[in-house]
Amino acid sequence: MPPLPPLTQALILANVAIYALDVLLGGLLTNWFALWPLGSAFMPWQIGTYAFLHGSFGHLFFNMLGLWMFGSELERLWGGKRYLQLYFASVLTAALTQLVVGLLFGGAPTVGASGGLFGLLLAYGMMFPNRTIMLLIPPIPMKAKTFVVVFGVLELALGVYSPTGGVAHFAHLGGMLGGWLMIRHWRGQGPFGRR
């Protein structure tokens, strides 16, 4: 297992530390820093802070596993600056998507690094489309580009079927959109114009 690059390691440690602190404080951080729907307890800082909170240990574990799997390689490829730009662009677009969905369908507070992770997942599929990824359950190998498409379609179907079902499926898709837009921006491609 290669060593974690510094920013991926810092993101994982920050998420774990904040989760532990929130557990110790009985969920007090969630009250202030989760992404609340507009018109309720929403505050502007929540657009970024929600991504460092998690609803359960399993939620934290799988998000951090994804950060390690996809983020490490992308940080080594791009360096820290671009890696963080893409990650936080994905977090931001995931939050904005979730706020719009909340306006349309109502909703509960949103927590988790999943929006950023889904942006990294999409970027990984774009950068390494033919790399083989092994699913955990069931253990099926597939190319990264196929993995991204399957996850995107699954999130869309689950979001349409249950937009307020306790999982922010549209936020995940918003994170993918943020990753895609950032890569398009770096390449000078539409909607940003040619370089």
Positions marked active-site: 114, 172
Q: Which helix (H) or strand (E) holds 112?
A: none
How far apart (Å, rounded) are the C-alpha atoms in residues 99 and 170? 10
Judged by DSSP in three states, 79 sits in: coil
Q: How far is CA 155 from CA 3, 11, 25, 161, 184, in A?
A: 31, 24, 32, 10, 22
How far apart (Å, rounded) are the C-alpha atoms in residues 95 and 51? 9
E strands present in the chain: 132-134, 141-143
Are the beta carbons of 133 and 58 closer than 8 angstroms? no
